[in-house]
Amino acid sequence: MKKVLNIGFYAGIVIYLFLVASATLLIRRGGSFRSVNLVPFRQIWEFMSGPNPAISRINLLGNVAMFIPMGI
């Protein structure tokens, strides 16, 4: 029974990592791949400097929710 739970746990991690990677890197819009932002906190900084800083809070919460480790 413990072995089945162990395999299920690792399968869940693999599926979770695939979903996170596909949601952040592989989604296609309009027939072409979207650009990837590789500068940490760049988008949040741009939102904070903009006219509506509330959007930056929503973006930050979305990023945190996407990368919360499984099991919390």
- Tokens describing residue 66: 């996407």
* Residue ranges in the chain assigned as alpha helix (H): 2-24, 42-49, 54-66
In eight-state DSSP terms, residue 37 is: -
Per residue in 14-54, pLDDT (tens digit) is 999 998 887 777 656 655 556 677 788 777 777 778 787 78
Considering only residues 59 and 33, tell me which one the structure prediction assigns the higher pLDDT: 59
pLDDT at 64: 79
- Structural tokens at position 57: 């809070």
> Could you tell me the residue ranges of all domains in the chain?
1-28, 41-72
Please list, in sequence order, all residues whose beta carbon lies within 8 angstroms of the beta carbon of residue 16, skipping any fewer than 6 positions away: 70
pLDDT tops 70 at residue 55 = yes
List phi, psi (to 5°) of 41.
Answer: 65, 15
